[in-house]
Structure 1
Amino acid sequence: MSVFIQQLPALLGVVIGALGSYVVVVRGDQARFRREQAARWEERKLAVYADYAHSVKKTVTVSFRVAAALGVDPHPDPLPLEEAKPLLGEATSRRDPAGEALIMLGSTVVVDRARDWVMTAMEMERFVRASTRDPKAWQSLLERQRAGREGYYTAVREDLGLPPGHSARWPSPAADAVPAQR
């Protein structure tokens, strides 16, 4: 029995070492799992944020083209309203589910900025659907849309922990510099 007692400290050391190793491995695995899970959620959020931006931008781009056909925007590819109606409907159909995903995964600030941007895009759509020919009102909508987009992208970058990005504001030709469309 005295041999067992002599070996007991070594045996206890092995048991304590094994338990310590187990705890370290388990904690490391848990930390790695949390990091990987957070990265997956960040990837999903980025995909949702980008998808929503594309869906809103589709409405904006078609609105630019119709406004060019109305003679109030310098877009180089004018599109008559009748041809644009299916594209506007498609953009709305795509934006609605993208908006639901955004509400589900987006931060409160991102969702609020998205709402600001999309409300202006919807006003732009109403403007062109009404065949309004008011260049000053259109320019006001353009500025609000640009500010809304910039606010959305800023909120997305902050939510994802990304550095500030480009404002995407660059000069464009004035609408009154475009020859009137028939």
Structure 2
Amino acid sequence: MSVFLQQLPALMGVMVGALGSYVVVVRGDRMRFGREQAARWEERRLAVYADYAQSVKKTVTVTYRVAADAGVDPHPDPLTLEQAQPLLADATTRRDPAGEALIMLGSPAVVEKARAWVVTALEMERFVREHREDREAWQALLERQRAGREGYYAAVREDLGLPPGHSARWPLPAVDPVPPQR
């Protein structure tokens, strides 16, 4: 028997081993790439979700302050509607592109909860722009806004596979029944 034929089984073993190693490395690289890509998209979605929440919350906070000026909210830093106009415009300008990013990258459940939350925030803005002083209506809007925010955060956590979080419902001081004198 020739030397080549004697070495053929060993040569075949080396070739099979090299092919197996190649397949394992390529498959491992693909899996790692997939995990890294999924992690990058998850980080991006979290950033979009947080940016959108901050933009909606800016509108909400400004409306709290204007409502405090009208005597229907206990916010400690009241603001007249005239002073609030540029802040509300800025909040809208920031919220619109954040909303577009949310629509592009967000899950349908998160986008729907975001829509419900922002609709309530816009109703709060309309309330203060109309100079309404109905405390019960304001309290109802506050409850809807808080429930909308809580629903949005719950949908975000579910989409990102995070554990449930805090509801962010803290007891607030009662509103003084006497409106401030102007």
Place the TM-score, normalised by the shorter chain, in its bin: over 0.9
TM (normalized to structure 1)? 0.98
- Paired with 1:62 and 1:147, the residues of 2 have a C-alpha distance of 18
Identity %: 77
Matched, 1:161 2:151: no
SS in 2 for 1:174: coil
SS in 2 for 1:162: coil
- Paired with 1:179 and 1:64, the residues of 2 have a C-alpha distance of 17
Q: Which residue of structure 1 aligns with residue 137 of structure 2?
A: 137
- Paired with 1:2 and 1:168, the residues of 2 have a C-alpha distance of 82
Letter aligned with residue 4 of structure 1: F
Unpaired runs of at least 5, structure 1: none
- Paired with 1:178 and 1:35, the residues of 2 have a C-alpha distance of 57
8 Å Cα contact 1:74/1:178 also seen in 2: no
Query: Residues 10-42 of structure 1: CA distance to partner in whole angstroms, max 9, x if unpaired?
Result: 000000000000000000000000000000000
Deviation at 1:181, TM superposition (A): 1.7
- Paired with 1:76 and 1:82, the residues of 2 have a C-alpha distance of 18
SS in 2 for 1:11: helix
Query: Residues 102-161 of structure 1: CA distance to partner in whole angstroms, max 9, x if unpaired?
Result: 000000000000000000000000000000000000000000000000000000000000
Q: Which residue of structure 1 aligns with residue 68 of structure 2?
A: 68
Q: Which residue of structure 2 aligns with residue 115 of structure 1?
A: 115
Deviation at 1:2, TM superposition (A): 1.4
> Structure 2 matches for 1:30-179, cutoff 5 A?
30-175=30-175, 177=176, 179=178
**Which consecutive segments of 4 or more residues in structure 1 shift more than 6 A?**
none
Q: Which residue of structure 2 aligns with residue 8 of structure 1?
A: 8
Unpaired runs of at least 5, structure 2: none
**Is the alpha carbon distance of 1:24 and 1:178 closer, same or farther for their aligned partners in structure 2, counting shifts above 3 Å?**
farther
- Please report the RMSD computed on the Cα atoms of aligned residues, expressed in angstroms: 0.9
- Paired with 2:136 and 2:87, the residues of 1 have a C-alpha distance of 25
Letter aligned with residue 55 of structure 1: S
- Paired with 1:15 and 1:9, the residues of 2 have a C-alpha distance of 10
Query: Residues 43-65 of structure 1: CA distance to partner in whole angstroms, max 9, x if unpaired?
Result: 00000000000000000000000
